[in-house]
């Protein structure tokens, strides 16, 4: 990822939002249930365009049947698709999961690698997924940019590029690495609870005074 510079005013705004959201939501843990790096990697791939709640209902049976990379790599295509069907895009996700499991076995002895470059070389794994795995199970600083983080960054006025990599770079440039993971968690929670794509609750928003779109979203819906 290319390092970005961020205007001092924007950086100060990001840090103020960080402080407020931390006071509101406190420390957070990963929203996806997992017991190993392998389980988190698979769960995060499944979470694309799917709620974490749905993924968490699917993965217990999935991991009982396919507990490691070797068993997933040799999974029957239809059986795997049946297990992950509730997550949507089950055919594409099934192919990605079997392919990435095969790569884990062939290239990494069945273990999940610990670098961005190696993780993103796996089928179906982008920067968001890699950052989730690195920050959650390996304690390597990362700031996952999902749809909530991307939407709020533009709506609030932190970065309106619409490019997840650019948004990640801007937010990371403004914050110390030890705050990257929590800031992502807090933006995700705020996006779910206060600032969804439709009908954001501007009246109750704790960071309304720092948001360039405050009130305007509600006006558009009238």
Q: Is 2 a catalytic residue?
A: no
**Of these residues, 13, 52, 93, 146, which one is catalytic?**
146
Q: How far apart are CA 97 and CA 39, in angstroms?
A: 11
Q: Which one of the listed residues 13, 52, 93, 128 is annotated catalytic?
A: 128
User: Which contacts (CB < 8 Å, 24+ apart) does range 199-207 have?
Assistant: 200/155, 206/20, 206/21, 206/24, 207/17, 207/20, 207/21, 207/156
Active site residue 128: yes
Q: What is the DSSP letter of 209?
A: G
Tell me the DSSP string of 43-96: HHHHTTTS-HHHHHHHHHHHHHH--SHHHHHT--HHHHHHHHGGGS-HHHHHHH
What sign results for the dihedral spanned by CA atoms 183, 58, 116, 2?
negative
Active site residues: 128, 146
């Amino acid at each position: 990822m290319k390092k970005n510079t961020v205007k001092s005013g924007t950086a100060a705004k990001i840090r103020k939002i960080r402080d407020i959201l931390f006071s509101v939501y406190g420390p957070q843990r990963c929203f996806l249930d997992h017991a190993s790096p392998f389980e988190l990697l698979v769960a995060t791939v499944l979470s694309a365009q799917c709620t974490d709640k749905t993924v968490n209902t699917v993965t217990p049976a999935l991991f009982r049947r396919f507990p490691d990379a070797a068993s997933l790599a040799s999974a029957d295509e239809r059986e795997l698709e049946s297990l992950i069907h509730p997550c949507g895009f089950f055919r594409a996700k099934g192919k990605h999961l079997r392919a990435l499991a095969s790569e884990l076995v062939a290239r990494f002895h069945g273990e999940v690698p610990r670098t961005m470059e190696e993780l993103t070389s796996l089928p179906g794994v982008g920067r968001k997924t890699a950052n989730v795995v690195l920050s959650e199970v390996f304690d390597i600083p990362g700031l996952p940019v999902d749809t909530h983080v991307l939407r709020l960054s533009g709506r609030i006025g932190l970065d309106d590029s619409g490019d997840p990599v650019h948004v990640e770079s801007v937010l990371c440039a403004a914050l110390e690495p030890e705050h990257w993971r929590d800031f992502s968690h807090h933006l995700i929670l705020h996006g779910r609870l206060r600032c969804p794509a439709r009908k954001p609750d501007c009246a109750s928003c704790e960071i309304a005074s720092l948001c360039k779109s405050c009130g305007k979203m509600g006006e558009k819906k009238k």
